[in-house]
Structures are given as structure tokens and as C-alpha cells.
Structure 1
Amino acid sequence: MGSGVVVGPPLAVALVVLVALAAAAAALGGTGTAWSSATAVARAVLQLGLVALVLLALVRSWWGTVAFVVLMVLVAAVTSGRRITGARGGPGRPGAAGTRRRWGGAAGRAGLVAGAAILAGVVPVLVVVLGSGAVPFAGIAVVPVAGIVIGGAMTATSLAGRRALDELGARHGEYEAALALGLLPRDAVLLVVRPTAGQALVPALDQTRTVGLVTLPGAFVGVLLGSGDPVQAAAAQLLVLAGLLAAETVAALVVVELVARGRIRRPVPAR
């Protein structure tokens, strides 16, 4: 009997019970995420099912591999842009029709900015891991590594960008005071928002510091479930953690810099 996850009724039962547990806890705690938990898992099932069906066909050619990676970057950019601006139910979602029209334009610009920050973090990491030979230059290896790094860069971009805009709004008086003292607009914004880049990196730093002691992350577990030995699992996880830390650091710094340069801002509600 293999050591992988059993695909079949046991998996279905486990998923249903876990979703019910998350929904029940959310309902009891009044978080308002009970339905979101169920729909999120349902979407994950559909999306991963589709990915499983098309991935093997795609990674047999480099064109398919590149197309899939580009798709991941586009989805990450759109998702991060919406998180940063607060679109689709986020804090401050506008209600007026005129504001919603403006909101779409702001979210679109935010998506472009988020995409630039994500790529700034992802591209150097992929160049290093592929160029060094640490990851085989094959689609079946490139796609999962790229997906992990893109996902981490997306999270760091969302956290840093959203927090930077929050800080700029809450501490606007400090920004104005810095301008009055003669600072340039970019420098005045950075004076207020620069610490947000470090705050966005706390999850990545904590995961890296505690790996093996508190958590056994996905790359490690995945190699073990795939019948790899523990040394291979540890090597894969070390590469992933170092790559994530590098990509997330660059992405967070880039998005904060772009906020400071006024390339991304929240829309002003129509009056």
C-alpha cells in the first residue's frame, strides 16, 4: 500500500467533515465566514480537479508550461489587486453606482501594479533555482515550484500593499507634516509606510524559523507522500522556503515603493 493520500470515499468523507467543522466554528464564533469556508473548498475541489486533468497535458510541452505559469501570474495579480484596493466586499466597498465604475478602474490599475511586484519577486527566484540546476528544467518540476513562489509573492504583495494604504490613510497627518518639512512626496509616504513591508514578511519569517519544529510545510509533506526519502523532502523544503523568503521580500518592497510613487491608491467615493 502506498504512502500517498487515498483518493476515494475516505477523502470525500474527510473533506466534508473538515468543511463542516470550519463552518460550525465560524458560525459559533460569529466570523461571518461559514458560507465562505464551504464555497472556498468547493472552488478548490473544482479548480484542482481541472488542474489535475490538464496539467499533465500542458507540462509535456514548454509552450504549455509557460502558458500555465503566465495564467498563474495573471490570476495572482488580479487577486492581489482586489485585495489591496478592497474590491468585492472588502472594507470600504462603495455602494454608489458611480463609485463602482471608478472602483473597476482602480482595481484594474492595482492589478497591474500587483503583477509588477509579483513578477519582480518571482522572476529572480525562478532564474536562480532553474539556472543552478537545483530544480530540473522540466515542466512537471517547474510548474509546482513556480506556483508556490507565485502564491507567496501574491500574499506578500497583498499584505504589504493593503497595509501601506491603510497606514497612509490613518496617518495622513504625518504625511502632510513631512511634506511641510520639505520632504518630497515619495519620501514622505515612505516615512509612513516603509514598516509595512516588514510586517508583510512576518508569516514567511515565522514559517522559516519554525520549520521542522512547529510545522512540516507542503513541499516536505508532498515529497514524503510521494514516497521520497526524508533527506529529499528536507532539501525540497529548504529550497522552497529560501525561494519564498526572497520572492516575498522583493515583492513587498516593490509594492510599497509603488505605493510611495502614487502608482496605486484607493478610489475616492463619488459624491
Structure 2
Amino acid sequence: MLPVNATLGVVLAVLLVVAVGVAALARLEDARGHGYARAIALAGVRAAVQLAVVSVLIGWVVRAVPLLLAFLVLMFAVAARTAGRRVTDNRTWWWAAAPLAAGVLPTVLALLLTGLVPLKGVALVPVTGILIGGALTGTVLAGRRALDELRTRHGEVEAGLALGLLPREARLEIARPAASDALLPGLDQTRTVGLVTLPGAFVGMLLGGASPVLAGAVQLFVLVALMTVQAVAVAVTLELVARGMLHRSRTPLGEAEGD
């Protein structure tokens, strides 16, 4: 669809510079004051390097099951660390692996056992990658929104405890609506598919010569599977936050959010 030549490289570089420039001029930053301009630049460069490496390795991975499984484990490990570090900067970040595993593993196993996806890299790697990516997004959004809400409304949590609620129940009352918003991107994508957006799987299959019906069926499968994975990931993340297993180090009141 795109010619791989010098023109493509120049256009990509210009787009990345524009993205970095806009983020810098608008002073886009997170709650801790960390600007996103540098993050965008690094993300663009890392994406180029990582895709180049994967493009070389994927040919070896698809030839042997052990290499395939090792590659999938690597994908999961990177996703777990990325999600965990986005949610918190303390040692509880590794709990982010739980919502990823709870959403992705049963879904992938079901696909393998039913024969819908064969144990071959050419099929398993992209499907698993899409599901891990969806679970990562759901976990990060749910975790960050829930912990931000608990920090902002810490007094309401204390009020719930004073009324006799258990710590888990008090946190759930505050964090549940905020964490549930993590489902909105996936819901909106599914609701508008074919009308506003034409996702990559659908377009890719059409360009590859598949019939529109087959491309639509595959895309529907991807969207429904993603909603399932994200719903599980958000629910598990919310539970971890409510139980204080996934928390941030300090609140404005000087108390650990998980305490």
C-alpha cells in the first residue's frame, strides 16, 4: 500500500517532528509535569527500531513452536512492564501482569482449542499481539483513572470507612465509575466500525485479496475478542486497586493509596 523508499522515510520524519513540535508548543504533560514531546520522539524512534528487528526475526519465529512461544512470552512481558509502569512507579507495578493474563490467556487458549487459530506464527502472533495490545490499553486506562480518582477523592474513601465500609468496598465505590471509562475507546471503535472507521484487519485483508465478507467476519471477531479481553482486564485491574495490591506510593495526605 505504501512504497518503501526515501520519500516514505522523509514523510515519517516530518510527521514525527510535527507531533513533537505540537506537544512542545502546547506544553502537553502528565500530572507529574513530565512533558510528552520527548516521549513522542522516543516512541517514534523505538517503533522504527523495534519493527525493523521484528521484521527480521519473525521469519525465524514462525518456523518453530519453541521460538514462537518464546516470542509470545516476550510480547507479554514487555506489555506487563509497560502497563505497570504507566500505572505506578513503585514495586507493585508487576501486578499489571494479572489483568493482562486474565484477559488474554483464556481467549487465546479457546481460539487454539477450537481450531479457529492454528498454532502457527503467521496466525498466532498477530492475533495474540492485538489481544495483548487491547488488554494493555484497558489496564493502563483503568489503573490510572482509578488511582487518580482515589487520590482526588481520598476524603470520600475515609468517610466510607467511618461509616463501616471495608477498605475494599470504600475504594470500589469511588474507583469503579472512573475505571469503567477505560472501556469507552473499545466500545466506540466497535460501534462506529464500517461507518466512521475501517480497522486495519479489515483493510489489510481486502488489500490482500480476501472477499469483503471474509474480511468483515475476521474484523468482527477481532472487535468482539478485544471487548472481551478489555472487559476482563478492566475488572481485574479495578479489583487489584480496590484491594490495595496495585497502588501508588504517596497521596497528597502522605498516606500510601493501598494502605
State the TM-score, normalized to the length of structure 2. 0.88
Structure 2 counterpart of 1:67, which letter? A
Q: Could you tell me how far apart the structure 1 residues matched to 2:17 and 2:151 are?
A: 38
Q: Which of 6, 16, 20 lines up with 1:9 in the alignment?
A: 6
Q: CA deviation at 1:28?
A: 4.0
Q: Which of 11, 26, 29 lines up with 2:26 in the alignment?
A: 29
Structure 2 counterpart of 1:58, which letter? V
RMSD of aligned Cα (Å):
1.8
Structure 1, unaligned stretches of length 5 or more? 88-105
Q: Could you tell me how far apart the structure 1 residues matched to 2:155 and 2:99 are?
A: 27
Q: CA deviation at 1:208?
A: 0.6
Listed one character per residue, the Cα deviations across residues 6-28 of structure 1 (whole Å, up to 9, x for unaligned) are 22223213312322332343344
**1:59-208 alignment, distance < 5 Å:** 59-85=62-88, 87=89, 106=90, 108-110=91-93, 112-208=94-190
Higher mean alpha-carbon deviation, 189-198 vs 127-136, is at: 127-136
Q: Could you tell me how far apart the structure 1 residues matched to 2:4 and 2:214 are?
A: 24
Q: Say if 1:224 and 1:28 are closer, same or farther in 2 by CA, change over 3 A.
A: farther
Q: Contact 1:5–1:225 (CA<8 Å) still a contact in 2?
A: no
Q: Could you tell me how far apart the structure 1 residues matched to 2:103 and 2:144 are?
A: 17
Q: Contact 1:179–1:185 (CA<8 Å) still a contact in 2?
A: yes
* Matched residues, number: 246
State the TM-score, normalized to the length of structure 1. 0.85
Higher mean alpha-carbon deviation, 248-257 vs 39-48, is at: 39-48
Q: Which has the higher contact order (CA 8 A, sep 6+)?
A: 1
Q: Contact 1:156–1:251 (CA<8 Å) still a contact in 2?
A: yes
SS of equivalent to 2:245: coil
Q: CA deviation at 1:134?
A: 2.5
Q: CA deviation at 1:146?
A: 0.4
Give the corresponding residue for 1:91: none
Q: Could you tell me how far apart the structure 2 residues matched to 1:171 and 1:232 are?
A: 48
Listed one character per residue, the Cα deviations across residues 125-181 of structure 1 (whole Å, up to 9, x for unaligned) are 212323333223312100111011001101110111111111111111111111112
Give the corresponding residue for 2:32: none
Q: Could you tell me how far apart the structure 2 residues matched to 1:173 and 1:27 are?
A: 35
Structure 1 counterpart of 2:137, which letter? T
Higher mean alpha-carbon deviation, 260-269 vs 235-244, is at: 260-269
Q: Which of 193, 214, 221 lines up with 1:232 in the alignment?
A: 214
